[in-house]
């Protein structure tokens, strides 16, 4: 597959808290960095996202007395998985992994900064209606095809790809440049959503040949 001028690589949440030693570490999360670097040279356009939570964010188990991480609760916009405190604004855990070297990125999009609602997707808050502005940004830049990599495959990467497709972009997930949490069959469920929506999972080798 050839990369075109209208293509963009969106690198999701390669932050310290999602990598080994972090507060919400994805297994082998830092191993996405080398494939992302290898891919990045093919793209003229790169966007980074950064989870950017307030202290006491409503998605944190610590904000709900008696609740534990990975339990679920009902909130206004549906079911919310409760997480350990992570990616709190201004902390080391919220910083990009120090090995991530993508200074060419044209945009850093921060998400999850509204205290009362989480934001898995790079395009919408978890109410599925409040936009982050990324869709409009890509359209105004004339970008039409989205390649998604990073953390985690079955949450923020997956929801970003699904929302890109919902907004009319072509959406491709680069599987070997992602790692998953795999909480309660979340990988299987996300891949079923990809199939229904027309999101294309692909190995990065298809772009590097």
Going by C-alpha positions, the residue among 82, 109, 104, 106 that lies closest to residue 15 is: 109
pLDDT in tens, 69-117: 999 998 877 788 999 999 999 999 999 999 999 999 999 999 999 999 9
CA–CA distance, 139 with 1 (Å, rounded to integer)? 22
115-163: per-residue pLDDT in tens? 999 999 999 999 999 999 999 999 999 999 999 999 999 999 999 999 9
User: Are the C-beta atoms of 177 and 161 separated by less than 8 Å?
Assistant: no
Q: What is the pLDDT of residue 126?
A: 93
pLDDT of residue 76: 78
77 in catalytic set: no
Q: Any bridge partners for residue 131, and if so which?
A: 124
Please report the pLDDT score of residue 119 as a whole number: 94
Pairing of strands 78-81, 72-75: antiparallel
The number of C-alpha atoms within 13 Å of 153 and in the hemisphere containing its C-beta is: 28
Q: Considering 13, 85, 154, 163, which one is annotated as catalytic?
A: 13
**Which helix or strand (DSSP H or E) is residue 163 part of?**
helix 158-166
Handedness of CA 88, 90, 91, 97 (dihedral sign): positive
Q: What is the DSSP letter of 35?
A: H
**Active-site residue among 17, 51, 85, 111?**
111
pLDDT, tens digit, 9 for 90 and up, residues 43-58: 999 999 999 999 999 9
At residue 79, the pLDDT reads 85
- Cis amide leading into 152 (omega within 30): yes
2, pLDDT greater than 90: no
115 is catalytic: no
Q: Is 34 one of the catalytic residues?
A: no
Q: What confidence tens digit (pLDDT) does each residue in 59-68 have?
A: 999 999 999 9
List, in order, residues 6 or more apart from 41 with CB less than 8 Å away: none
Catalytic option among 154, 156, 163, 178: 156
């Amino acid at each position: 597959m050839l990369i075109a001028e209208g293509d963009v690589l969106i690198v999701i949440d390669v932050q310290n808290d999602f990598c080994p030693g972090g507060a919400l570490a994805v297994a082998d999360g830092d191993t996405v960095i080398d494939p992302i670097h290898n891919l990045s040279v093919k793209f003229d356009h790169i966007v980074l996202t950064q989870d950017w939570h307030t202290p006491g964010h409503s998605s944190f188990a610590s904000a709900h007395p008696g609740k534990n991480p990975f339990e679920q609760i009902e909130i206004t916009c549906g079911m919310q998985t409760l997480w350990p405190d992570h990616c709190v604004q201004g902390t080391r855990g919220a910083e990009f992994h120090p090995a991530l070297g993508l200074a060419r990125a044209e945009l850093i999009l921060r998400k999850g900064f509204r205290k009362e609602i989480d934001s898995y997707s790079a395009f919408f808050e978890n109410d599925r209606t409040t936009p982050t502005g990324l869709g409009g940004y890509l359209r105004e830049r004339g970008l039409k095809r989205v390649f998604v990599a990073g953390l985690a495959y079955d949450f923020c990467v997956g929801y970003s790809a699904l929302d890109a497709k919902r907004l009319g972009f072509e959406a491709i997930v680069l599987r070997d440049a992602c790692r998953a949490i795999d909480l309660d069959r979340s990988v299987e469920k996300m891949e079923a959503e990809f199939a229904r929506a027309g999101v294309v999972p692909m190995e990065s080798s298809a772009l590097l040949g």
